[in-house]
Amino acid sequence: KDCRNGHNLTSDHNVSVLKTHGVDHLSYSELCVLLLQNDPLLLPEICLHYNKGHGPYGSCSFRKQCVKLHICQYFSQGECKFGTGCKRSHDFSNSENLEKLEKLGMRSELVSRLPSIYRNAHDIKNKSSPSIRVPPPPSWSQGTSERRGAGSVSPNTANQEESDQICLFHIWKSCSFQDKCSRVHFHLPYRWQVLDGGKWKDLRKMELVEEAYSNPARDGRTHTE
C-alpha cells in the first residue's frame, strides 16, 4: 500500500500503452508472464553462490538470510541433467523461496509458473542457441503434440526449420519484416500445438501445459479443458 508506482493496468495511460504494443487483449496474468520473461530486472535473482560449493547452501555465506532465490541455476534454464537427483533445489515454492517471493509481492499463480518463465527468459536472452524441446506425446492429448519454441529446431528442411521458429523480435515489438517475416509471429516464446487431421492446432490454456512441461515433479498429465 506504500508503493509509489501505479498498480492499475486499466488506467487511460496504461490502456493506451497496451494498445500501442498490441497486447491489450492479454489478461493480467498473461501480461505479468510476458513482462517477467522479457525484462530480466523484474525476475527475482537466483543466488550463484548457492549453486557452487558443497552442503545444503553451497558457498552462500548468507544461508537462510540470503535475499536471492536458492534454486538450481541449470534447472531454471531447463538444462539440469540430474533431475530429482540434483543436490540443488528445483522447488520455487519451498518455504524458504516462497517467503522471499511473497515479500516481493508475487502471487501464488505466478510462483507456480516460474519454472517456465525462467526457462523462456533464458531462451529469449540466448536467442541464437538452437535448443530442441519437443517432448514425447503426453497422455492427455490426442494425436501428436509439439512445443514450438523461440529457439526450437524442427527435424525437417532448413526452410521449414526457419518457418517453425517463433520470432523473438515480434515479441519485443521490433520485427522489421512484419507480414513478410519468415518466422512465426506469436505473443509467447513457445507454442503448444496438437496435430489433428493433418493440421497443427493451438492447444487451449497452453500456459498450463507449459507449466506442467517445465515442472519435473508432474507426471506428464494435465488437462486443457
Structural domain boundaries enclosing 172: 144-214
In a domain, 95, yes or no: no
In a domain, 185, yes or no: yes
In a domain, 180, yes or no: yes
The pLDDT score that the predictor gives to residue 99 is 94
Cell numbers at 138, concatenated: 503426453
In a domain, 176, yes or no: yes
Q: Is the pLDDT of residue 146 over 60?
A: no
pLDDT digits (tens, 9 = 90+) for 112-121: 999 989 988 8
The predicted model gives 70-83 an average pLDDT of: 92
In a domain, 195, yes or no: yes
Strands (E), 86-208: 144-149, 190-196, 199-202
Q: Is the pLDDT of residue 127 over 50?
A: yes
In a domain, 160, yes or no: yes
In a domain, 186, yes or no: yes
Give this prediction's pTM. 0.57
Q: Report how many domains make up the chain.
A: 1
Q: In angstroms, what CA-CA distances link 117 with 43, 65, 81, 85, 205?
A: 9, 25, 19, 23, 15
